[in-house]
């Protein structure tokens, strides 16, 4: 969905950890924080109010947040109303009751409650000039409208503690950590010693290549398999209407679990729900699908993270991320079926409605991928571009940084990046699937008025922050007019299964906004593990040498498809082969395997702990990477 302006409101994290909340003294009234801006960035004053009846003069460009609990004296439907000059948002429990974040926005709403139940209360307000006022009323059948009285409100010490401000993007000063892959020899300083232990170590980029001759880089695009029953999730029968999904394999049962975005009984472009199915093989799914209860209003997204059976907090083992109310929202679950919102408001605001969540295990952090619609220094016009932010508790987030940005002159037409998804860690490399959008193109043979082509490219990072993207397509739409994935083919999820990786993708038949309730469906690809990019040599042969590295393994395997033969030499500091590790000493490698064992005559192990270079020599074949054990 296209959003051309940044929402001025900003949700605030509650400042709560993910553990058990201690019992606190209950106090009357609501706690509040006032800010010297409209985006909750510059706190000025704090205090408590017995009720919401704000009247201020002399303030320009300010905002205020009230927090606490509210009790209703009756059960059933209660109508709430706000009087305010500018923008307001009211949350009761997990429900956004009044969404009026503009001068013309809603000022009323209703909720069903139980008598005397204390529900979390949060009211956000911003003001641009003149008299600042904000008043809250309630009414129900048989009870006339009145200001909500002080007896309804309470708060605790947590509500009065300093609030942590959530981050908003874009602000115009986000760091640029985005680049395009260009073949080159990476520079390495003498003070940094490369260490190679258990991998795999993939030749996706040039980080592990000091020099090569007779070798070309080739993106190894996955191929459609007519034996697969694609689409495996349908628009009509399974109510799929998004290209977003998560597929996980339960570590205890081995069952495949699928969460995906579905439309409700009455299709609505800005309302989504979570559909759920299970499978024994990840291909054939048990039906009918199950619609899970919403943890809150959902617009787009169904990104699920499983922290595993050994997580310290089993009640919050699963995390669900989606977009609504201007940003990233999070829910948690014990079983991935019953969800509860972590906090009612967004934890990270961004102005385009696509995001996802993943766990960066080496760095012990969650990473959010967020999409924004903005201008920038390297591209013309407003475009969809992609940022990352990280958090250790899902409440407090780092300032986002750009990881995917178009570059005029390098990228064709109106290249946009809808998102990056399907993250997978292989050795010290993170790989992501980039959803490229070209709304300036039209798929061949589509109905009049159709527009938009979407395809997938690769991106990768070796430090978890800076990302490099390929411009060459990794997976493209089916060129056959009328095919279910003729206009879009966006890979959204990668799942290792044995010696393969399953690639789940969203396909569109005719275009970006065409018949979204029937033509957005989910398909499956399969490819051999770690074969994203090949280094290919022809019949004349080629060589590839790694930079100097300390080997922290004694056995070498190579992932290669060799129709001719492949040999490996181990070079010492002078660049000459070590005794016994010449090409002539190496047993030739033939055939296709993800893990060819490399052996040298009379030498069972590698020179572990020494700084050496590995040199690969082969003809008529593709080398994808190597591993050490």
Q: When comparing pLDDT for 373 and 20, which is higher?
A: 373
CA distance 419 to 438: 13
CA distance 244 to 256: 17
- In the predicted structure, residue 517 carries a pLDDT above the cut 50: yes
Instruction: Please state the rounded mean pLDDT for residues 519-542.
Output: 98
CA distance 179 to 404: 7
pLDDT of 335? 98
Instruction: Please state the rounded mean pLDDT for residues 578-588.
Output: 96
pLDDT of 37? 75
Q: Which residues pair with 527 in a beta bridge?
A: 501
pLDDT tier, 23 (very low <50, low <70, confident <90, very high otherwise) = low
Place of tokens 């390098």: 410
Q: Is the peptide bond before 394 cis (omega within 30 degrees of 0)?
A: no
pLDDT of 57? 80
Q: Which residues pair with 146 in a beta bridge?
A: 138
A 10 A CB-CB count for 462 gives: 17
Q: What percent of the chain lies above the pLDDT cut of 70?
A: 93
* Phi and psi, residue 514, nearest 5°: -95, 120
Q: Which residues pair with 508 in a beta bridge?
A: 488, 520
Q: Is 72 helix (H, G, I), strand (E, B) or coil?
A: coil
pLDDT tier, 127 (very low <50, low <70, confident <90, very high otherwise) = confident
pLDDT in tens, 59-111: 778 889 999 999 999 999 999 999 998 889 999 987 889 989 877 888 999 99
pLDDT of 35? 80
pLDDT in tens, 225-276: 999 999 999 999 999 998 899 999 999 999 999 999 999 888 877 789 999 9
**In contact, 87 and 102? CB cutoff 8 Å:** yes
Q: Look up residue 88 and give its two tokens.
A: 């307001």
pLDDT of 44? 80
Q: Look up residue 161 and give its two tokens.
A: 């503690």
Instruction: Please state the rounded mean pLDDT for residues 460-489.
Output: 97
Q: ∠ at Cα 471 (593, 186), nearest 5°?
A: 70
pLDDT in tens, 388-437: 999 999 988 999 999 999 999 999 999 999 999 999 999 999 999 999 99
pLDDT tier, 186 (very low <50, low <70, confident <90, very high otherwise) = low
- In the predicted structure, residue 43 carries a pLDDT above the cut 80: no
Instruction: Please state the rounded mean pLDDT for residues 284-303.
Output: 96
Q: Strand 76-84 vs strand 108-113: parallel, antiparallel, or unpaired?
A: antiparallel
Instruction: Please state the rounded mean pLDDT for residues 357-361.
Output: 97
Show the domains of the chain with their CATH numbers. Answer: 12-165 (3.90.182.10), 185-219+533-628 (2.60.120.260), 240-528 (2.115.10.20)
Instruction: Please state the rounded mean pLDDT for residues 480-490.
Output: 98
């Amino acid at each position: 969905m296209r959003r051309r302006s940044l929402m001025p409101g900003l949700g605030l994290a509650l400042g709560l950890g993910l553990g058990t909340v201690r019992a606190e003294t209950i106090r009357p009234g609501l706690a509040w924080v006032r800010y010297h801006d409209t985006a909750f960035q510059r706190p000025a004053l704090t205090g408590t109010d017995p009720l919401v009846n704000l009247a201020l003069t002399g303030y320009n460009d300010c905002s205020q947040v009230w927090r606490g609990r509210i009790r209703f004296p009756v059960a059933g439907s209660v109508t709430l109303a706000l009087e305010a000059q500018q923008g307001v948002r009211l949350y009761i429990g997990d429900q956004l009751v009044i969404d009026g974040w503009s001068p013309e926005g809603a000022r009323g709403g209703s909720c069903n409650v139980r008598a005397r139940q204390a529900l979390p209360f949060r009211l956000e307000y911003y003001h641009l000039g003149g008299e600042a006022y904000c008043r809250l009323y309630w009414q129900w059948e048989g009870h006339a409208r009145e200001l909500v009285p002080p007896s309804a409100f309470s708060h605790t010490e947590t509500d009065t503690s300093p609030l942590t401000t959530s981050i908003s993007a874009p602000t115009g000063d986000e760091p640029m950590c985005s680049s395009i892959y260009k073949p080159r020899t990476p520079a390495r300083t003498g003070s940094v010693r490369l260490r190679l232990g258990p991998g795999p170590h993939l030749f996706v980029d040039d980080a592990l290549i000091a020099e090569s001759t007779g070798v070309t880089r080739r993106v190894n695009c996955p191929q459609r398999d007519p034996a697969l029953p694609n689409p495996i999730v349908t628009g009509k029968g399974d109510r799929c209407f998004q290209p977003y999904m998560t597929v996980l394999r339960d570590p205890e049962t081995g069952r495949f679990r699928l969460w995906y975005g579905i439309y409700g009984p009455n299709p609505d472009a800005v309302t989504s729900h979570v559909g759920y199915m299970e499978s024994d093989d990840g291909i054939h799914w048990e039906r009918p699908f199950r619609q899970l209860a919403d943890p809150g209003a959902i617009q787009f997204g169904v990104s699920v993270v499983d922290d595993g059976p050994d997580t310290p907090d089993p009640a919050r083992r699963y995390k669900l991320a989606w977009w609504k109310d201007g940003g990233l929202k999070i829910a948690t679950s014990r079983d991935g079926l019953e969800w509860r919102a972590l906090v009612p408001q967004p934890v990270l605001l961004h102005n385009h409605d696509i995001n996802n969540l993943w766990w960066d295990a080496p760095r012990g952090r969650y990473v959010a991928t967020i999409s924004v619609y903005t201008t920038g220094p390297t591209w013309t016009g407003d475009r969809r571009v992609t940022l990352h932010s990280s958090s250790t508790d899902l409440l407090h987030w780092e300032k986002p940084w750009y990881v995917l940005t178009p570059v005029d002159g390098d990228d064709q037409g109106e290249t946009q990046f809808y998102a990056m998804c399907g993250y997978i860690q292989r050795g010290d490399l993170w790989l992501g699937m980039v959803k490229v959008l070209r709304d300036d193109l039209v798929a061949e043979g589509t109905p009049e008025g159709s527009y938009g082509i979407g395809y997938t490219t690769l991106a990768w990072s070796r430090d978890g922050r800076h990302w490099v993207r390929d411009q060459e397509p990794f997976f493209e739409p089916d060129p056959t007019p009328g095919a279910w994935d003729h206009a879009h083919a966006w890979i959204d999820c990668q799942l290792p299964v044995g010696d393969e990786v399953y690639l789940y993708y969203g396909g569109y038949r005719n275009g970006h906004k065409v018949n979204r309730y029937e033509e957005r469906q989910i398909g499956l690809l399969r490819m051999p593990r770690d074969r994203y990019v090949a280094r290919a040599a022809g019949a004349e042969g080629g060589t590839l040498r790694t930079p100097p590295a300390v080997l922290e393994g004694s056995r070498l395997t190579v992932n290669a498809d060799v129709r001719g033969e492949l040999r490996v030499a181990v070079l010492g500091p002078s660049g000459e082969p070590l005794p016994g590790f010449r090409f002539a000493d190496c047993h030739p490698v033939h055939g296709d395997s993800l893990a060819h064992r490399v052996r040298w005559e009379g030498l069972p192990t590698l020179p572990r702990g020494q700084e050496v270079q590995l040199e690969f020599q082969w003809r008529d074949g593709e080398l994808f990477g190597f591993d050490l054990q």
